[in-house]
């Protein structure tokens, strides 16, 4: 079904001059190579460059303000409004642009739980962008069958540029979400993650607001005992790495919903960071780089091998692959109620312990905080650690007020008091970045396994004097001194001072939410010392 005439015969609107519908991965790879838009690496994966945009552009994402959204969306720096008039003009321009071009169309869906399924039609300007959609979204059981109807439409045209003077955008590139018409427009950027996160934003609006489902930016896996674990964390904290446990089944690596019946994946694939990818430390991800996988913005040597340490194009190198490329992926990608929740933070200040247990108030407080830290060298202008807070570990994807999601989390914890919530520091111990050292991934895995298997339940816990979190004093396989970061500092008074400073940063971030936050959340805050 590769001709526009086929669409006409079946009563479909014309999306492009030449239309390719629901092609298999191998066909999309072949077409990308034929058009000189990519190359194969030595394992047979397709390697492409996304051009001037190698990551999302949050400041260029807009939501149409109308009767549907005006009173529900949390408008501000994250959720920028655009008028229906500007949307209508952009939509018409994009349809005219694509109507004269070769396009690739795919019907997919989101949400592994059929009760919440969202059907999506995606129109791409390149075959490799369509391959990304094939890999990342849930694939229909019957391929190459034209769907009579889909709920949402995405138009993605990297070659189409907006006119900020007349189209209401900030720059020539844009992502515009229209909740009333159920359309997402993406133009001026070839970065594929805009499509994935566009649908994530849609689900973050629809599920909590209309279905009482907590939407989450987290990974999830399941043990042989059927017990589910969730891993929240911002970029660089180890969310994908730690959830890809060969001894546990992977439910998903990035986006999930939590209903009254359990956890389900939004996606059908993984979009893993590839920078410094090591087959010894991350064998599951490394093994997924094979025919059908899509590598973005990596450097390929003349012998076809990828240099994963080369960040000359971007530090945000990525690999997109179907979740079935992970040997222990669960099918269907859903599970029961979670038993353990891990909040991952890369604390470059060396203050937080490698693992600690949170009560309900602390869990809600740290959820609304979404803390990690950037270190020197990761971005231009950063010469020392800088704190980073992103509410619910994904603020830029939340159309609703962050407290809506935090309160939903609190209700989930109330419904099942047996759920354990842990704060895990995958960053520095014994001092800040440049003085201390980053905790070994081996120790982090041991601590998480101990939490999952209940071995930490009988450990003695001591409350941190400032953050009040419960810190275990022993864990088999981990030196006891590592569990208490204060003891590793040469100057404990300096540790106390820096811990107080970090607590103040937490509270400065929380200030914007405190007026409307519940007393339960407020009680989870650290103690501010003079």
Two tokens, residue 122: 């995606």
For 259-271, the pLDDT digits (tens) are 999 999 999 999 9
In a domain, 272, yes or no: no
Report whether pLDDT(117) > 50: yes
> Is 197 known to be catalytic?
yes
d(CA 33, CA 281): 31
Q: Are 180 and 87 in contact (CB under 8 A)?
A: no
> Is 383 exposed, middle or buried (CB count within 10 Å of its CB: 0-12, 13-18, 19+)?
exposed
Residue 240 — very low, low, confident or very high, per pLDDT cuts 50/70/90?
Answer: confident
Dmax over CA atoms of the chain, in Å, equals 77
Report the percent of the chain where pLDDT is more than 70: 94
Give the residue numbers spanning the domain of 112.
4-35+57-211
Q: How far is CA 308 from CA 192, 425, 457, in A?
A: 19, 25, 39
The CATH number of whichever domain residue 347 belongs to comes to 3.90.228.20
Asked whether residue 363 is domain-assigned, the answer is yes
**pLDDT at 16 (0 to 100):** 82
Taking residues 201-219, what's their average pLDDT?
97
Residues belonging to the binding site for ATP are 197, 217, 233-241, 282, 318, 438-439, 444
When divided into structural domains, the chain yields a total of: 2
Q: Say if strands 334-335 and 214-222 run parallel, antiparallel, or are unpaired.
A: unpaired
pLDDT at 15: 82
Task: For residue 217, indicate whether it is catalytic.
Answer: yes
In three-state secondary structure terms, 158 is coil
56 is catalytic: yes
Average pLDDT, integer, range 166-189 = 98
Q: Which position among 318, 357, 360, 420 bears the catalytic label?
A: 318
Does residue 324 lie in a domain region?
no
Catalytic residue among 239, 374, 420, 509: 239
The pLDDT value given to residue 384: 63
Q: Per the omega criterion (within 30 degrees of 0), is the bond before 332 cis?
A: yes
Predicted confidence at residue 379, as pLDDT, reads 44
Query: pLDDT value at position 382?
Result: 46
Q: Check which CATH number belongs to the domain holding 127 and give it.
A: 3.40.449.10
pLDDT at 244: 81
* Range 187-203 average pLDDT: 98
> Which tokens belong to 225?
């005992």
DSSP category for residue 497: H
Please report, rounded to a whole number, the percentage of residues in the chain having pLDDT higher than 90. 86
Are 201 and 67 found together in one domain?
yes
pLDDT score for 14: 63
Query: Does residue 321 sit within a domain?
Result: no
Last residue of a domain, one of 166, 189, 211: 211
Q: Per the annotation, where are the binding residues? A: 56, 191, 197, 217, 233-241, 254, 282, 318, 438-439, 444
Residue at which a domain ends, from 211, 240, 275: 211
pLDDT at 4 over 50: no
- Choose the final residue of a domain: 146, 178, 211: 211
Q: For residue 344, with 0-12 CB atoms within 10 Å meaning exposed, 13-18 middle and 19 or more buried, which class applies?
A: buried
Residue 469 lies in a domain: yes
* Average pLDDT of the residues in 38-62: 97
Q: Which residues contact 111 (CB under 8 A, 6 or more apart)?
A: 117, 118, 138, 203, 257, 264, 265, 266
For residue 46, being part of any structural domain is answered with no
Q: Burial letters for 389-428: b for 16+ Cβ neighbours within 10 Å, e otherwise?
A: bbbbbbbbbbbbbbbbbbbbbbebbeeeeebbbbbbbbbb
Residue 173 falls within a domain, yes or no? yes
pLDDT at position 333 is 96
Strand runs (DSSP E) across 410-469, as ranges? 420-425, 428-429, 437-438, 461-463
Write down the pTM of the prediction.
0.93
For 227, list phi and psi in degrees, rounded to 5.
Answer: -85, 130
Whether 347 and 494 share a structural domain: yes
Is 239 catalytic? The answer is yes
Q: Are residues 205 and 348 in the same domain?
A: no
Active-site annotation holder among 43, 235, 378, 449: 235
Q: Look at residue 251 and tell me if it is in a domain.
A: no
318 is catalytic: yes
| Dist. CA 233–CA 37, nearest whole Å | 33
For the annotated binding site for substrate, the residues are 56, 191, 197, 318
The whole-number average pLDDT for the span 79-106 is 96
Please give the average per-residue pLDDT across 466-471, as a whole number.
97
* Average pLDDT for 9-33: 83
Residue among 197, 256, 360, 412 flagged as catalytic: 197
Q: Among 156, 186, 198, which residue's Cα sits nearest to residue 15?
A: 156
Structure tokens at 383: 């010469």
Both tokens of 358, joined, read 């949170």
- Report whether pLDDT(7) > 90: no
**What's the Cα-to-Cα distance from 3 to each of 105, 134, 308, 491, rounded to whole Å?**
11, 20, 39, 72
Q: What is the mean pLDDT of residues 309-321?
A: 95
Per-residue CA distances from 228 to 282, 306, 369, 445 (Å): 21, 34, 23, 16
Q: Tell me what the mean pLDDT of segment 29-55 comes to.
A: 97
35 carries an active-site annotation = no
């Amino acid at each position: 079904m590769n001709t526009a005439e086929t669409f006409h015969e079946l009563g479909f609107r014309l999306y492009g001059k030449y239309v390719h519908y629901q092609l298999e991965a191998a066909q999309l790879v072949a077409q990308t190579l034929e058009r000189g838009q990519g190359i194969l690496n030595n394992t047979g994966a397709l390697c492409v460059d996304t051009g001037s945009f190698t990551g999302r552009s949050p400041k260029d994402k807009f939501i149409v303000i109308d009767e549907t959204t005006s009173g529900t969306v949390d408008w501000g720096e994250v959720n920028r409004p655009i008028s229906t008039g500007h949307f209508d003009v952009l939509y018409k321009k994009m349809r005219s642009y694509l109507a004269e071009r070769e396009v690739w169309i795919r019907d997919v869906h989101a949400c592994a739980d059929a009760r919440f399924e969202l059907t999506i039609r995606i129109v791409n300007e390149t075959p490799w962008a369509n391959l990304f959609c094939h890999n990342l979204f849930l694939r229909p059981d019957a391929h190459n069958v034209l769907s009579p109807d889909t709920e949402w439409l995405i138009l993605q045209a990297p070659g189409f540029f907006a006119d900020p003077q007349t189209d209401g955008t900030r720059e020539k590139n844009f992502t515009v979400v229209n909740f009333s018409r159920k359309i997402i427009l993406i133009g001026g950027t070839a970065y594929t993650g805009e499509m994935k996160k566009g649908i994530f934003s849609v689900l973050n609006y629809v599920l909590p607001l209309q279905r009482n489902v907590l939407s989450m930016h987290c990974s999830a896996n399941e043990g042989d005992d059927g017990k589910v674990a969730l891993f929240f964390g911002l970029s660089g904290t180890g969310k994908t790495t730690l959830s890809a446990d060969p001894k546990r089944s992977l439910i998903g690596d990035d986006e999930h919903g939590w209903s009254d019946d359990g956890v389900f994946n939004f996606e059908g694939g993984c979009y893993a960071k590839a920078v410094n990818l090591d087959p010894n430390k991350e064998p599951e991800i490394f093994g997924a780089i094979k025919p059908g996988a899509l590598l973005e913005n990596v450097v390929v040597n003349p012998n076809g091998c990828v240099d994963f340490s080369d960040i000359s194009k971007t530090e945000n190198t990525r690999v997109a692959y179907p979740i079935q490329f992970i040997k222990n992926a669960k099918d269907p990608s859903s599970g029961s109620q979670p038993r353990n929740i891990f909040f991952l933070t890369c604390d470059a200040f060396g203050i937080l312990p490698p693992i600690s247990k949170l009560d309900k108030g602390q869990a809600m407080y740290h959820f609304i905080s979404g803390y990690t830290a950037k270190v020197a060298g990761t971005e231009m202008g950063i010469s020392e650690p800088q704190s980073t807070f992103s509410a619910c570990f994904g603020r830029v994807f939340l159309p609703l007020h962050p407290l809506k999601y935090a309160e939903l989390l609190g209700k989930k914890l109330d419904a099942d008091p047996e759920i354990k919530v842990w704060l895990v520091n995958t960053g520095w111990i014994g001092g800040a970045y440049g003085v201390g050292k980053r905790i070994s991934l081996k120790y982090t895995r041991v601590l998480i396994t101990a939490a999952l298997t209940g071995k930490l339940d009988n450990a003695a816990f001591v409350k941190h004097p400032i953050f009040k979190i419960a810190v275990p004093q022993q864990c088999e396989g981990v030196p006891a001194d590592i569990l208490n970061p204060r003891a590793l500092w040469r100057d404990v008074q300096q540790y106390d001072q820096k811990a107080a400073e970090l607590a103040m940063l937490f509270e400065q971030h929380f200030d914007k939410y405190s007026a409307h936050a519940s007393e339960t959340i407020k009680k989870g805050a650290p103690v501010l010392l003079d």
